[in-house]
Amino acid sequence: MKSSLVDELKLIAGSDYVLTEQQQTNAYLYDEVEKAYRPEADKSSIVVKAGSTEQVSAIMKLADDNCIPVVVRGGATGLCGGCTPINESIILSMERLNGILEIDRKNMVAVLEAGVTLMDLLEELDKYNDLSFPVHPGDEGAQMGGMAVTNAGGARAVRHGVMRKHIMGLTIVLPNGEILELGGKLIKNNAGYNLMQLILGSEGTLAVVTKIVLKIYPKERYSATIVAPFENFEDACCAVMDILQSGNLPLAVEYMDKHLFVGTAEMLGLEWQAKKGNADLLIILSEKSEDQLYAACREINEICERNHSYETLYAGKTEEQQELLLIRSQHYEYIKDSICDSFDMAVPVSEVSAFIRDLKMLVKEYDTDTNVIAHIADGNVHNDILYLKDGSVPDYASELKQKMYDICFSYGGTITGEHGIGKIRRQDLILQKASAELELMRGIKKVFDPNNIMNPGTVL
């Protein structure tokens, strides 16, 4: 990058916040996508750490005037290569924009800068004792700006929905440097097209989010976790459907193949207590009163028994619940060295059982296996393609992926429920979207970003 441009960036952000040496910038090149499929980063990219919306505006104007790509980097917890610069770029780090500007109890909103992590927010809300925020994508190092532009989901979507449901306002910087305030603290606002909703889920391709107005909620004080073991996943899926139709709405309902719970527990030096069966449900409940919690536990236990579960296990103590959640959340560490590609397809909840069945039958045709983990009550199924025993990517990987997608589409599904398209699923998106829809997306991108500097090569 031209030294004159680097000098201008140092004048904007401060010389201490512009990194040009590769030994410094290497840590900013990749997210959590599997190495076998991650896009190759352009190592000549530089890092700029903006300290305010005004600095972001000046950086964007400079980049746009010189047609320099900009890739915004949050917590880098993504799984689709979204924050990797594939061209020589300005990597715009949001780590300095980390202020919690306001906790507005009267309107039940938090006003945050984009670099605030989920952990930062939860720790701040803990100080108030009675406030909470429900969306939890699995990694508390995720930054709120990244969670917004990826429309983060996670296990709790069954009750609370995904990120866009909880965002009331954004401050954004357009590629040309113009600053816009979208939405706000208003519950109702029907003035014109809802541009804010275009930004949510846009994966950093339309604008830079610098501030968020976020809904917060009263804390539910009583919680419990149920482990329900089943002989087969079909019965587990039927139990989930019955739970949802009963009017009970758990905080989360997580499914994993039995060997994943057992193996992950062993990796952590723990023991998985549900010995019987091959398919386990982890059902997390959260209620406002003890009576509501106990009533929900009783009813869900009865539903599981009617669907042929073995004896359910109940965890009421905080440390017991945290141990179960740790085992669920650490499964990726257990399998990551054995998988070369992972998916997060989603289907209607009623089709989950058939979808999982067909995936398991398909991989047998290739004399391989797949690990199935699911946010089962919202239809989001995670599975993978395994490396060969010699550690190489199988030559059938592309064909197998295509057939997995075909099964997903046959059930009215989508190739991604929460991870997004990023840079690794661009060609896959073409399989799902009609050409007219893709052209509309390209048109929207052109209006926001006529010089195509915002995270080029992402989504489209």
Residue 113: enclosing H or E segment and its boundaries? Answer: strand 109-113
pLDDT value at residue 181: 98
Residues of the chain with CATH 3.30.465.10: 100-218
**Relative orientation angle of helices 258-267 and 318-329, to the nearest 10 degrees:** 110
Give domain 100-218's CATH number out of 3.30.1330.10, 3.40.190.10, 3.30.43.10, 3.30.465.10: 3.30.465.10
* One-letter amino acid of 401: K
pTM: 0.94
- Nearest C-alpha neighbor of 417 from the set 408, 426, 404, 430: 408
State the burial class of residue 299 (Cβ atoms within 10 Å of its Cβ: 0-12, 13-18, 19+).
Answer: middle
Structural contact between residues 144 and 117, judged by C-beta atoms closer than 8 angstroms: yes
- Nearest C-alpha neighbor of 283 from the set 338, 229, 220: 229
Residues of the chain with CATH 3.30.70.2740: 336-421
Give the whole-angstrom CA distance, residue 364 versus residue 357: 11
- Using the Cα atoms of residue 186, residue 189, residue 192 and residue 197 in order, give the sign of their dihedral: positive
Residues of the chain with CATH 3.30.70.2190: 222-329
Cα angle 205, 426, 208 (rounded to 5 degrees) comes to 10
**Lookup result for tokens 């010189």:** 66
pLDDT value at residue 138: 83
pLDDT value at residue 117: 98
CB atoms within 10 A of CB 385: 26
Give the whole-angstrom CA distance, residue 365 versus residue 383: 16
- Nearest C-alpha neighbor of 171 from the set 75, 65, 92, 97: 97
Q: What is the CA radius of gyration of the chain?
A: 23
Residue 293: enclosing H or E segment and its boundaries? Answer: helix 290-306
Structural contact between residues 172 and 427, judged by C-beta atoms closer than 8 angstroms: no
pLDDT value at residue 111: 98
pLDDT tens sequence for the chain (460 residues): 899 999 999 999 999 999 999 999 999 999 999 888 899 999 999 999 999 999 999 999 999 999 999 999 999 999 999 999 999 999 999 999 999 999 999 999 999 999 999 999 999 999 999 999 999 998 899 999 999 999 999 999 999 999 999 999 999 999 999 999 999 999 999 999 999 999 999 999 999 999 999 999 999 999 999 999 999 999 999 999 999 999 999 999 999 999 999 999 999 999 999 999 999 999 999 999 999 999 999 999 999 999 999 999 999 999 999 999 999 999 999 999 999 999 999 999 999 999 999 999 999 999 999 999 999 999 999 999 999 999 999 999 999 999 999 999 999 999 999 999 999 999 999 999 999 999 999 999 999 999 999 999 999 9
List of E strands, 174-317: 179-183, 208-215, 217-218, 222-230, 252-257, 279-287, 313-315
The CATH class for the domain spanning 336-421 reads alpha beta
- CA 249, chain centre distance (Å): 21
CATH tag, 222-329: 3.30.70.2190
The string of DSSP codes covering 374-392 is: EEGGGTEEEEEEEPPTTSP
CB atoms within 10 A of CB 428: 16
